[in-house]
């Protein structure tokens, strides 16, 4: 009999049995410990057990009354089950067991959290898809503004240079053609020719303004990095002529572990006050930040524009979402 009781006590599940009168006939150690939490003084009858499960004390949290799942003070989560059994002789007993479902509940809660995150991500994706046409339109509008700003500014500065140098009629006509091309941008963006190599095209445009571009360091190989660097060169070359009366633009590339850094300075006059970003610099900043990069403008000790471009386009935004 002692061996049977010892084996019953060593069961991994808490269990007890009540006779037809509801009196406890057999209970193991695990259920005894649980019964003390459920009712001060322990459980002596089936009615007391059912009452304690229906209205548990404050230190026992009912997680699901229908499934009879409870969290106990030791942190374990138990699920109770009641069943009618009978011996070979036909004697009927009521069996109540409590199974440890702590790990199952933990995994269930983790799954709920992951599902909530997935639902949030799906909602963000849905909103992005809804907004995609507008985003594309804004990107196209910005690209048009940049091209218009660049070409109109280039034409104005080129004309200014021609007039100051008293150039001959042939070059005046060439600059007039540039004006016609720039004005056509306002109506047909497709008429603007796209250079296959952005950095070389930017150097050429700067030279037309009388600015020599000197490149040092390892130039980026990725096309989008070269395109953004070229936009910065065009803007800085125009500002060099317009505001600093400079003739040289110094562009230095640094390859860092996680990004490419580009700095642009000139040999023109030092800014007299803090530089306020106008249309060109503002649009340049927007393009760089949309690609996940950063842009700084220094006014002292002399003008310097610094842009940082991540190895992966848009990497900064992806990191923020996470």
Q: Residue 25 — φ and ψ, nearest 5°?
A: -110, -30
Domain enclosing residue 134, as ranges: 123-193
Instruction: Identify whether 110 is part of a domain.
Output: no
248 falls within a domain: yes
Confidence at residue 261, expressed as pLDDT on a 0 to 100 scale: 96
pLDDT, position 102: 93
8: which strand partners?
Answer: none
DSSP state of 186: T
Q: Which residue has the higher pLDDT, 187 or 74?
A: 74
CB 245 within 8 A of CB 269: yes
Return the pLDDT at 80.
96
pLDDT of 53 over the 70 cut: yes
On whether the CB atoms of residues 260 and 308 are closer than 8 A, the answer is: yes
Task: State yes or no: pLDDT of 301 exceeds 70.
Answer: yes
Residue 292 per-residue DSSP state: T
For residue 189, name the pLDDT band (cuts at 50, 70, 90).
Answer: very low
Same domain, yes or no: 54 and 7: yes
Closest CA to 287 of 133, 134, 128, 142: 142
- Predicted pLDDT of residue 162: 59
158 CB burial (10 A radius; 0-12, 13-18, 19+): buried
pLDDT tens per residue across span 262-297: 999 999 999 888 888 877 888 889 889 988 999 999
Number of domains within the chain: 3
The average pLDDT across 70-94 equals 93
Q: Is 9 exposed, middle or buried (0-12, 13-18, 19+ CB in 10 A)?
A: middle
Domain boundary residue, one of 161, 193, 225: 193
The predicted model scores a pTM of: 0.44
- pLDDT at residue 178 above 70? no
Query: Are both 207 and 181 inside the same structural domain?
Result: no
Q: What is the mean pLDDT of the chain?
A: 83
Instruction: Looking at the structure, tell me whether residues 24 and 88 fall in a common domain.
Output: yes
Residues 237 and 176 in one domain: no
Q: What is the rounded CA–CA span in Å between residue 280 and residue 32?
A: 79
Position 226 scores a pLDDT of 92
Instruction: Please indicate, yes or no, if residue 319 is contained in any of the structural domains.
Output: no
| Whole-number Å distance between alpha carbons of 241 and 158 | 10
CA distance 248 to 268: 8
Q: Residue 105 domain-assigned?
A: no
Q: How confident is the model at residue 316 (pLDDT cuts 50, 70, 90)?
A: very low
Are 189 and 206 in the same domain?
no
Do 271 and 164 sit in the same domain of this protein? Answer: no
| pLDDT in the model for residue 52 | 93
Residues 139 and 157 placed together within one structural domain of the fold: yes
Same domain? For 30 and 10 the reply is yes
Whether 134 maps to a domain, the answer reads yes
**Is the confidence at residue 203, as pLDDT, over 50?**
yes
Q: What is the pLDDT of residue 194?
A: 46
Could you report the per-residue pLDDT of 205-252, keeping only the tens digit for each?
888 888 999 999 999 999 899 999 999 998 899 888 888 889 999 999
79, 155: one domain? no
Taking alpha carbons only, the member of 90, 91, 59, 88 closest to residue 76 is 59
């Amino acid at each position: 009999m002692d061996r049977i009781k010892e084996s019953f006590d060593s069961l991994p599940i808490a269990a007890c049995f009540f006779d037809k009168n509801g009196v406890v006939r057999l209970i193991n150690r695990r259920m005894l410990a649980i019964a003390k939490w459920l009712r001060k003084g322990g459980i002596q009858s089936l009615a007391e057990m059912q009452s304690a499960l229906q209205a548990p004390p404050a230190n026992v949290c009912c997680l699901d009354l229908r499934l009879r799942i409870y969290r106990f003070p030791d942190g374990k989560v138990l699920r109770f089950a009641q069943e009618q059994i009978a011996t070979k002789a036909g004697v009927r007993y009521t069996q109540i067991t409590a199974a440890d479902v702590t790990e199952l509940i933990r995994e269930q809660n983790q799954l709920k959290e992951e599902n909530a995150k997935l639902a949030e991500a799906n909602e963000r994706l849905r909103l992005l898809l809804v907004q995609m046409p507008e985003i594309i339109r804004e990107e196209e509008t910005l690209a048009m503004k940049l091209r218009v700003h660049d070409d109109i500014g280039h034409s104005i500065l080129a004309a200014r240079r021609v007039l100051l140098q008293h150039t001959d009629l042939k070059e005046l006509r060439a600059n007039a053609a540039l004006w016609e091309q720039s004005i056509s941008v306002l109506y047909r963006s497709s008429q603007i020719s796209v250079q296959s190599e952005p950095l070389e095209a930017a150097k050429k445009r700067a030279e037309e303004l009388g600015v020599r571009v000197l490149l040092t360091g390892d130039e980026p190989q990725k096309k989008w990095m070269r395109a953004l660097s070229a936009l910065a060169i065009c803007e800085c070359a125009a500002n060099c002529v317009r505001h600093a009366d400079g003739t040289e633009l110094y562009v230095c590339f640094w390859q860092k572990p996680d990004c490419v850094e580009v700095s642009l300075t000139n040999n023109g006059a030092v800014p007299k006050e803090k530089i306020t970003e106008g249309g060109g610099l503002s649009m340049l900043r927007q393009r760089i930040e949309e690609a996940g990069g950063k842009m700084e403008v220094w006014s002292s000790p002399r003008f310097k524009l610094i842009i940082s471009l991540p190895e992966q386009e848009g990497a900064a935004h992806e990191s923020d979402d996470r």
